[in-house]
Structure 1
């Protein structure tokens, strides 16, 4: 188990795509989506991944995370028993001044939403923001994937 420290931002435009060095389609569902412990099943490209996350701290920037690669067939089977609602997105990796931003462009009922996350070594670590980065939404639970599954962006 490790401590995940990250900041999350809205994305203003598609200019990040020109700077992206990798993109991967991701489909994921939740076996449990309570804030105290989310259990996520993900198919990322051709890999299956099982992730368990604990509740975030007061700022929303830190929380415990455990992750393990599982067989693709197991991930496909687990997706069938997940809670209603699936997250479908493309993740773009964008390097910027020593950091890698993970930019998620959502589809389906979350169409029109694009968010970027950057992992940090400490909560007070400074990040030079690329021009395409918009408002910070760290700690805003509406933007958690487990909440977007329940209340999609297009229904806000």
Structure 2
């Protein structure tokens, strides 16, 4: 249940041509404390409750537990979330043996596009697509829990 992830800014919209799937996401946070975030996420018809622990010093890994919940429960829990919902479209892009998840944000985070890749170990090699920009792994301001409190439009 340890998630190892690297995060990057995206420098062009070329990723959209490579995407094999798009998912609309609405999410909120019951708790956005960096030591233990509790997220509620609604996709097209699925809901998820996710608990994340504190990141390691490099921002590469942290505890993550996720459970699918009903759409009805998800919608009810979203009403209890802290101020600042996250709205985005997630694009899935295959790159070698990995899949990049590219999030294009809307609302108060309009204009922000971030790519994430999950790895099996921190030093694992992966192919970097041409549209991948600056690495922001470990930069807390790009965490969704922080974007809900300090949206991109206020930077």
* TM-score normalised by L of structure 2: 0.99
**CA shift at 1:44, angstroms?**
1.3
Shift of 1:128: 1.6
Gaps in structure 1 of 5+ consecutive residues = none
- Alignment partners' CA distance in 2, 1:64 and 1:82: 21
Distance in 1 between the 2:66 and 2:108 partners? Answer: 26
Match of 1:144 in 2: 143
Runs of at least 4 residues of structure 1 off by over 6 A?
none
Shift of residue 97, structure 1, vs aligned partner: 1.3
Deviations 1:43-72 (A, max 9, x none): 012101000000000100100000000010
Once the two structures are superposed, what CA deviation does each residue of 1:82-111 show, in whole Å capped at 9, x if it has no partner? Answer: 000000000000001111000000000000
Between Structure 1 and Structure 2, the one with more strand by share is 1
Q: Aligned-pair distance for 1:127? A: 1.5
* Corresponding position of 1:123: 122
C-alpha distance in structure 1 between counterparts of 2:57 and 2:21, whole Å: 32
Tell me the secondary structure at the aligned position of residue 153 of structure 2.
helix
Unaligned runs of 5+ in 2: none
What root-mean-square deviation, in Å, do the aligned CA atoms of Structure 1 and Structure 2 show? 0.4
- Three-state SS of the structure 1 residue aligned to 2:49 is strand
Q: Paired residues, what number?
A: 155
SS in 2 for 1:138: coil
Instruction: Report the equivalent of 1:78.
Output: 77
